[in-house]
Amino acid sequence: MKNKIRLERSRFLLTQILPAVALTLLVGFGVLGLLLWSSHTTDHASRDRQSRLVELVVSKLREAAAHDQESVTVWDDAVEQVRLNDTDWIDINLGAWMGDYFGFDGAYVLGPRDQPIYAYTNGGRASPEAFEAIAPEVVPLVDALRSKMRAGDVSQVNEMVLSPGVADIAVIRNRPAIVTVKPIVSDTGNIEQIPGEEYVHVLVRFVDGSLVEELQTDYMFEDLYFSWVAANERGLSSQPLKSDGGATIGYFVWHPYQPGYVIISKVVPVLTAVIVLALILVVTFLALNRKRAKRLAASEERIRYLALHDSLTGLPNRTSFNDRVDEALAEAGNSGISLLYLDLDRFKQVNDTLGHSAGDALIYEFGRRLAALVGEDDIVARFGGDEFALMLRNYADCDEMEGICQAIIDEARRPFDIGGNKVFVGVSVGASVAQVDGMDRTELLRKADVALYYSKTTGRGRYSFFSQAMDQALKLRQHTETDLRKALSEEGQLLVYYQPILSSESHKTIGYEALLRWRHPENGWISPELFIPIAEDTGLISQIGTLVMREACIAAAAWSEMTVAVNVSAVELGDPDYAARVRSILEDTGLEARRLELEITESAATDENSIAGDNLRSLRNMGVRIAIDDFGTGFSSLGRLHSLNVDRIKIDKSFVQGLGPRSDDEAIIRAIVDLAHAKGLKTTAEGVETKAQEERLARIGCDDLQGFLYSVAIPLWEVNRSLVFGAKEQDLSSQTS
């Protein structure tokens, strides 16, 4: 009987199980071989594309360098100043400006006979004789340019290129560099110049310095660097850097992006799992009767597991976490137990941009990273959404707690590779400590949540330990929110004040900025810096903004030709109905759209592909004017003035207050004003407090001024009284004359 059972088992194994297993493995390895071949082909194509991209980028950099150079060489002022040999003017406009603003490493000006009259190198002005160090490489380019000018060669000139030029890649002071040479010519044609005898402007940009870092950042070349010889190491790509004469100057070397390798590294584990699963299914199907009891037991175990674990990450869920924390607190004794509450920053943006599947992948990967950070006795749980909780044991030492919190934040900052996309998020952490903040799990979690809220409201991407001050701050915020809702329903608390804006030329008031004030019946005046963020978080900002807009428009409709400026929150601009609401207010109050100016942040002005961008376009089509408030702070850039579709730039008061004999703020303000005027924009300087500031701003050319020198923000009745008094004075002056 036993021999028969053994024989049946052997026959079953040889005739059914082994052939099925062999066939499954054959198919699996065939698919794996196909994937490896396609991965190799994809990686080869990717390397070729990156090489072509390097070649294209270098070509574009040469064109961009010449284009940047023309911003100062095609200019009547430049022709006149180099003829006068005004080296200070030349240093500011043809030297330091090209270095500081455009990032060039060297700038030189040559006279009609190629004699050097100015040199800028190593980040500062140098003796003109410094040109001699680069003359052997540059003089042939200058000669070629003069030949073009004498021959009247304008083949390069078009709508984008304003003057002939010569550019090449050469070795300058033992470093590879882009060298571009342009004549200094008149932009109006009103200055007579002898062809071939123009002053010449030479720019040098080394390609092995900051430029390599820019290329690596902008085009995501991994470990990009310059080398005099081609890379011969396995896994590196190199692209020759050649001059116009065909000579190889050197090579750009980098680690090529290998999408095939990335994909195969993710697919192979999955494919292996599929093969293993297929084998298991085959064996399970063939041996169903034998495994039924085991399958039933495994099924019951799985149900218990799912009841206590998150289905996406496999981590304990809230129920399991609470039970295990209660057990740990009950047996804690003197051992330190801490609870951490975590919330991912910018997770919603990932879901909205890449979809929920990408969000799930991000949650899974973050959970995996968390589990790798903590010890075996610690617990990592997912509470739902992008919320996680940790129970840490034996972290009584404050430094150790801070270390693990910082490690979690650092781990979240590392980019996540989700579906071939580099995703950047962050995490905010709140912590509470048992025996310090209590021994009740519910209270400890509440305090960790309060600390988490503090981390998120004070900048995100940080950790905080619970303190009573946080609890009080949260209660204060809740009270402020309640009082703000009450203030909106009652008259006399939320008031609109007005600060005058004066013309720097006539010193007459041309308009007012509407500013919200809150006079609390018990606490007195409350700063907008305190309650506006709360209004934005709670959704009250739309109601407040409508109140201010309507009162400001009603007031301005009674003024003669003067404008009114109203600040607009980014939250309001994100409302699809915002532009329509402004149109309705203008129609109701009778205020002309051109007399309303909305002050927005620079980020809102540049976000054209969003609801805010649609609202701004609709408002400008109505005739409403748009101003950028506090320009010069945050992510402001002078270069972005060229792309901003607005009417006015408001220069931040920090620059105005910094005006002084040794300050760079005057140069910055002048640059902002000059570029704004070139773009056709008006400028307003905020925070003017002294006559000296007023006089300097007027000399610079700032159009309008605003600040305590003229008036603090005043209520409407004072505005109207001053307007009536001013009108009477004007009538009296007319009668006297």
Taking each helix axis as running N to C, give the angle between helix 541-557 and helix 716-736, from 0 to 180 degrees, rounded to the nearest 10: 20
Please tell me the distance from the alpha carbon of residue 390 to that of residue 507, in angstroms, as a whole number: 63
Q: What is the DSSP track for 127-158?
A: -GGGGGGTHHHHHHHHHHHHHHHHHT--TT-S
Strands 106-110 and 116-121: antiparallel
Residue 53 has pLDDT above 80, yes or no: no
DSSP 594: G
Tokens of 139: 């003089």
- C-beta of residue 638 within 8 angstroms of C-beta of residue 655: no
What interhelical angle do 665-679 and 691-700 show, nearest 10? Answer: 40
**3 state DSSP class of 171:** strand
* 606-634: average pLDDT: 81
Q: Where are the domains of the chain?
A: 303-466, 491-730
Helices 18-73 and 259-286 meet at what angle, rounded to 10?
160
Topology of 303-466 in CATH? Alpha-Beta Plaits (3.30.70)
Has domain 491-730 been given CATH number 3.20.20.450? Answer: yes
Distance CA 602, CA 389 (A): 37
The packing angle between helices 541-557 and 578-589, to 10°, is 30
What band does 473 get if pLDDT is binned at 50, 70 and 90? low
Q: Which residue has the higher pLDDT, 726 or 707?
A: 707
Residues in the chain: 737
Report the distance separating Cα 432 and Cα 466, nearest Å: 6
Residues 6+ apart with CB under 8 A from 308: 316, 317, 319, 320
Phi, psi of 494 (to 5 degrees): -90, 115
pLDDT in tens, 103-162: 899 999 999 998 999 999 988 999 999 899 898 999 999 999 999 989 888 888 888 888
Residues 346-391: pLDDT tens digits? 887 787 778 889 899 999 999 999 999 988 889 999 998 889 999 9
Instruction: Give the CB-side neighbour count of residue 717, counting CA atoms within 13 A.
Output: 1
Report whether pLDDT(334) > 60: no
pTM across the whole model = 0.46
Q: How far is CA 196 from CA 48, 77, 189, 191, in A?
A: 43, 19, 16, 15
Task: State both tokens at 170.
Answer: 């050469």
230 CB-near residues (< 8 Å, 6+ apart): 238, 240, 251, 253
% of the chain exceeding 90 in pLDDT = 32
Phi then psi dihedrals of residue 181, to 5 deg: -125, 130
* Angle at CA of residue 480, ends 477 and 483, nearest 5°: 155
How far apart, in Å, are the Cα atoms of 117 and each of 91, 96, 198?
A: 11, 15, 13
